[in-house]
Amino acid sequence: MTIREQILNDIKEAMKAKEIEKRDVLRSLDSMIKNEEIAQGKRDDGLNDEDVISLVKRAIKQRKDSAEQFRKGNRDDLAKKEEQEISFIEKYLPAQISEDEVRVIVEKVVADVGAEGKGDMGKVMGLTMGIIGDTADGAIVRVVVESVLSK
């Protein structure tokens, strides 16, 4: 079953269970996928799982940014709503590796390329993200790379 099919199936399940919030979030995600299919001219074929994962990541990032802004504006209720929406859609991402596992990979990349400081951050980030792919959030990788390069 593709990720898109899983999302559509989960929408039906949410409707049956009368989970209004979950249904609405998943419909929003499905709408993003449809819009991207139209933009890429793939409406008949549909997007592959990699493209759908990319859209899921974008949706999560948007919600994280919104939650952060709501917290700055002292609107914890709205921030919690955004975080709940994240919990509904992050299950469509591949399994995420831990920060410790990211650190091991980053340290190996730093040793392999001979990176010595913050000036090598772009090189290390690029190689690390190539290895890690979709299994870790880029923000976490960035923090780990900065930490390792500042030693």
Q: How far apart are CA 138 and CA 72, in angstroms?
A: 23
Secondary structure (DSSP) of 49-87: HHHHHHHHHHHHHHHHHHHHHHHHTT-HHHHHHHHHHHH
Q: How many CB atoms lie within 10 A of CB 15?
A: 14
3-class DSSP assignment, residue 21: helix
Nearest to 25 by CA among 83, 95, 93, 96: 83
Q: What is the radius of gyration, based on Cα positions, of the chain?
A: 18
What is the per-residue pLDDT across 2-59, written as a single tens digit (0 to 9) for each? Answer: 999 999 999 999 999 999 999 999 999 999 999 999 998 888 888 888 899 989 999 9
What is the per-residue pLDDT across 81-121, written as a single tens digit (0 to 9) for each? Answer: 999 999 999 999 888 888 889 999 998 988 888 878 788 88
**Residue 123 above 90 pLDDT?**
no
Q: What is the largest CA-CA distance in the chain?
A: 56
**Residue 151 above 80 pLDDT?**
no
Whole-angstrom CA distances from 141 to 20, 126, 147 are 34, 10, 10
**Residue 136 above 90 pLDDT?**
no
pLDDT at position 52 is 92
How much is the pTM?
Answer: 0.75
Domains identified in the chain and CATH numbers: 3-92 (1.10.1510.10), 99-149 (1.10.10.410)
